[in-house]
Structure 1
Amino acid sequence: MLAAAAVAVSSAPASAEPGDGHLVRYTLRTAAPADFKLNYVIASPPSKQAYNADPYTYLKSEVVVIGPEQPWVFEVTLDDPEWAILTASTGVHAMQASPNPVCEIEVDGEVRVHQEGPYTAHCQLGAW
């Protein structure tokens, strides 16, 4: 969990093991400091059935704290980048402005999806 916290407060990307696939970069930015529950794919499943049978083989879930000057970035090599997904959600805190999270998924250096919302952000590619 300490490594995850280091990723959350650093703009340097964390990385999974490189392979022969496509470089996928997940990025989450926010307008105000907040804690976010993240879910993101770290390995391409061979099929939707394989994913459904054991999702945490392919999906990572963690809580991070980020702020305007501290984006969360994670890079992974996926055989099939269409499996890429990043969801970020935060609880509503009384007397706090909405953090306005913004997520992006890049594949091989090209931004493929960009989404934002007041409390949640959801970026996904085609396999979902």
Structure 2
Amino acid sequence: MRSVRFGAAVLLATAGVAATAVPAAADEAVMHQITYSVFTEQPFRGAAIYYRDTDPPSWADYSHDPYLFSPKVEADLGPGQQWTMNVQLANPDEWAMVMATSGRSKFPPNFHCVLAVDGVVVSQNSGAKGALCSLRHW
């Protein structure tokens, strides 16, 4: 009877190891193609645009220094002058974001932003002095 219990324990232990073994390929994140686009209804020079180009390792890392993960560019925009950036993110539901603003300008140019993930538009927004496109509610 003792050998039966020992055999059953070995069998259960082996099954537990097999159930927790994960192929190495599962550790690699699937990268998604993110396309950010911004334009304005009126010509505007020097629009401030922030976008996310990297998945932060953790929320704590992002909170400590959000600008490390959110580059800023300045762009001249207008109805026929669009700014577009393509990046890759592993978790766009959490981190994909583009925001544009006219700052303290007295002449709001009416911003529009578009966020696409893997070729599908998932967020659009507009605003007189700025616009934010994201899947997450900031």
Common fold, TM-score beyond 0.5? Answer: yes
CA radius of gyration, larger in = 2
Is 1:25 the counterpart of 2:35 in the alignment? yes
Is 1:60 the counterpart of 2:71 in the alignment? yes
| The one of 41, 57, 73 aligned to 2:52 | 41
Q: How does 1:113-124 map to 2 (within 5 A)?
A: 113-124=123-134
Structure 2: 5+ residue runs without aligned partners?
Answer: 1-28
Question: d(CA) in 2 for partners of 1:56 and 1:101?
Answer: 22
Counterpart of 1:86 in structure 2 is: 98
Structure 1: 5+ residue runs without aligned partners?
Answer: 1-18
Question: d(CA) in 1 for partners of 2:102 and 2:37?
Answer: 16
Higher relative helix content:
2
**Which one has more relative contact order, counting CA pairs under 8 Å at least 6 apart?**
1
SS in 2 for 1:59: coil
SS in 1 for 2:49: strand
1:20 and 1:77 in contact (8 A); partners too: no
User: One-letter code of the match for 1:27?
Assistant: S
Question: d(CA) in 2 for partners of 1:90 and 1:122?
Answer: 12
TM-score w.r.t. length of structure 1: 0.76
Identity rate, percent: 32
Question: d(CA) in 1 for partners of 2:105 and 2:64?
Answer: 35
Q: Deviations over 1:66-98 (max 9, x none)?
A: 12111000000111112011111103544x4x3
Is 1:110 the counterpart of 2:120 in the alignment? yes
User: One-letter code of the match for 1:54?
Assistant: D
TM-score w.r.t. length of structure 2: 0.71
RMSD between superposed Cα atoms in Å: 1.9
